[in-house]
DNA sequence: CCCTGTTATATCGTGACGATATATCGAATT
DNA sequence: AATTCGATATATCGTCACGATATAACAGGG
């Protein structure tokens, strides 16, 4: 059994499927509207993933259309996938656990898009993790900027400057979100 | 002979090597300072690329250190790579030609970082190409924003909003750069 | 009743890269 | 002077992700 890696893709699929059963084609579109900004999602990744998640018991297949016959022959069969209860559990544990590379662009965006299904405390943890990561990146950039200053190519410099700005913006954005979340947290504890 | 695809990597390597001979390890660091923001560059990609570029005659190897003996056995051998004249030509043609996917993040960043070696007219073309591409992306985002409005998840919405802003900024940035370039162009024609 | 575009599932080859091995050197640390 | 440790440096291999592509059914405009 081809063991895939990317938990990110699993998350995206399971998270999208949380709101009801879907067939592959539609699933892809929905998932892309979540994560399309930073990731692509080709069928070459999607269908193998769907198959494996089914094998593992996280997904259930309801293929009324293509019952039994002509597997793999008839497109337009509309094979509907839905979460099993094990699948829901798995989704929850994925949402709660902190995987490796949790703060990478891909992973963060997916987790963020699924925030409405995520516990408030976990949300804060994810936001803060991303924050730390970005501040680190900012330091790296600034260091390289001050180190090079005179020696560096004009255009490389300009690129770096622009990159710095973008990261700064995202840090500020995160700050706001973290503030909001913490306020919300306090109000719930009252 | 393993034929690689990515012209982007070729560009990065040749462009970095334009300023003088380097060995792999150092080359990687320099190249990363150019494109590190958007791309990673692992040895698993770098060394095969170096080998192939050498085979194609674009690179020349000057391994004083590891002359003849113990190939592949001795690290620290400091194998220095430098551009051949064919390599310089190839670099120039890569810079001038418009490859497929010219406006992807990766490709654009590399081409931008090498602007000091790029003809002014080509610079403008690249900037404008990138501009069009981003405006398209912006339209897609906006469309999806207005289509969903009420129906869409709060967090997905917020993510999209933030993404929109980032793209808008980059468009403005490009506008400035294009203006500058065009001004420069006119002054040269006087 | 074509023709074109969209919906839909599915697979395959391969290129890219993470992980890892190996080894040397310089500079602290003891 | 011995020893540790991190940085320097080259190299390869297995495998995963995905682009490209095939197939075909359907809707609807002309």
Q: What are the residues whose beta carbons fall under 8 Å from the beta carbon of B126, sequence distance 6 or more?
A: B102, B108, B111, B112, B118
| The pLDDT value given to residue A72 | 43
Tell me whether residue A114 is exposed, middle or buried, using C-beta atoms within 10 angstroms of its C-beta: 0 to 12, 13 to 18, 19 or more: buried
Tell whether A132 and A94 lie within a shared domain. no
| The pLDDT value given to residue B158 | 93
Please answer yes or no on whether B169 and A173 come within 8 Å at the CB atom: no
Q: What are the residues whose beta carbons fall under 8 Å from the beta carbon of A131, sequence distance 6 or more?
A: A171, A174, A175, A178
| The pLDDT value given to residue B115 | 94
- End-to-end CA distance of chain A, in Å? 50
Tell whether B14 and B89 lie within a shared domain. yes
Residues of chain A with Cβ-Cβ distance to B141 below 8 Å are: 37
| The pLDDT value given to residue A69 | 40
Q: Measured between CA atoms, how close is A89 to chain B, in angstroms?
A: 22
| The pLDDT value given to residue B74 | 62
In this complex, the residue with its CA at the shortest distance from the C1' of nucleotide C7 is A76
Domain limit, last residue, from B102, B128, B153: B102
| The pLDDT value given to residue B69 | 39
Looking at the predicted structure, is the pLDDT value of residue A108 above 70?
A: yes
Cα(B127)–Cα(B181) distance, rounded to whole angstroms? Answer: 9
Nearest CA in chain A to B115: A155
Mean of all residue pLDDT scores within chain B:
86
Contacts for B169-174: CB closer than 8 Å, 24+ residues apart:
B169/A165, B169/A166, B169/A169, B170/A162, B170/A166, B170/B134, B171/B131, B171/B134, B171/B135, B171/B138, B173/A162, B174/B127, B174/B130, B174/B131, B174/B134
| The pLDDT value given to residue B47 | 92
Reported as a single tens digit per residue, the pLDDT across A159-173 is: 999 999 999 999 999
Round to a whole number and report the distance in Å from the CA of B82 to the C1' of C29.
40
| The pLDDT value given to residue B104 | 85
List beta partners, residue A23: A80
Phi, psi angles (nearest 5°) of residue A185:
-60, -45
Nearest CA in chain B to A174: B162
Tell whether B19 and B79 lie within a shared domain. yes
Tell me whether residue A170 is exposed, middle or buried, using C-beta atoms within 10 angstroms of its C-beta: 0 to 12, 13 to 18, 19 or more: middle
Tell whether B61 and B127 lie within a shared domain. no
Reported as a single tens digit per residue, the pLDDT across B22-37 is: 998 999 999 988 888 8
Tell whether A11 and A64 lie within a shared domain. yes
CB A178, CB A124: distance < 8 Å: yes
Residue A108 in domain: no
Reported as a single tens digit per residue, the pLDDT across B130-160 is: 999 899 888 888 888 877 666 788 998 899 9
What is the number of domains present in chain A?
2
Q: Measured between CA atoms, how close is B50 to chain A, in angstroms?
A: 23
Cα(A3)–Cα(A138) distance, rounded to whole angstroms? Answer: 36
Reported as a single tens digit per residue, the pLDDT across A25-51 is: 999 999 988 888 888 899 999 999 999
| Structural domain of A83 | 7-99
The domain that holds A28 is classified in CATH as: 1.10.10.10
Tell whether A84 and A138 lie within a shared domain. no
Is the C-alpha dihedral spanning A132, A164, B39, B170 positive or negative?
positive
Q: Work out the percent of chain B whose per-residue pLDDT is above 90.
A: 53
| The pLDDT value given to residue B113 | 92
Please, how many CA atoms are within 13 Å of residue A144, restricted to the half-sphere of its CB?
24
Using alpha carbons only, how large is chain B's radius of gyration in Å?
Answer: 21
Q: Is the CB of A68 under 7 A from strand C?
A: no
CB A21, CB A62: distance < 8 Å: yes
Chain C footprint bases within 7 A of protein beta carbons:
7-13, 15-25
| The pLDDT value given to residue B68 | 40
Mean pLDDT of B85-90: 94
Looking at the predicted structure, is the pLDDT value of residue A148 above 80?
A: no
Residue A170 in domain: yes
Reported as a single tens digit per residue, the pLDDT across A82-107 is: 999 999 999 999 988 877 677 888 88
């Amino acid at each position: 059994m081809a063991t895939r890696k990317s938990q990110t893709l699993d998350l995206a699929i399971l998270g999208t499927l949380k709101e009801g059963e879907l067939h592959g084609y539609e699933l892809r579109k929905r998932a892309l509207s979540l994560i399309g900004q930073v990731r692509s999602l080709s069928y070459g990744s999607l269908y193998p993933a769907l198959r494996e998640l089914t094998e593992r018991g996280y997904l259930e297949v309801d293929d009324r259309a293509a019952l039994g016959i002509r597997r793999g022959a008839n497109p337009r069969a509309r094979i509907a996938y839905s979460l099993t209860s094990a699948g829901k559990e798995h989704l929850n544990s994925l949402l709660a656990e902190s995987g490796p590379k949790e703060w990478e662009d891909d992973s963060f965006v997916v987790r963020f898009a699924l925030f409405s299904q995520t516990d408030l405390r976990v949300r804060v943890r994810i936001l803060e993790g991303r924050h730390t990561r970005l501040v680190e990146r900012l330091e790296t950039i600034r260091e390289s900027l001050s180190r090079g200053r005179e020696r560096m190519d004009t255009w490389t410099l300009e690129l770096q400057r622009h990159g710095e700005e973008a990261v700064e913006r995202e840090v500020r954005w995160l700050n706001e979100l973290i503030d909001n979340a913490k306020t919300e947290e306090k109000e719930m504890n009252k």
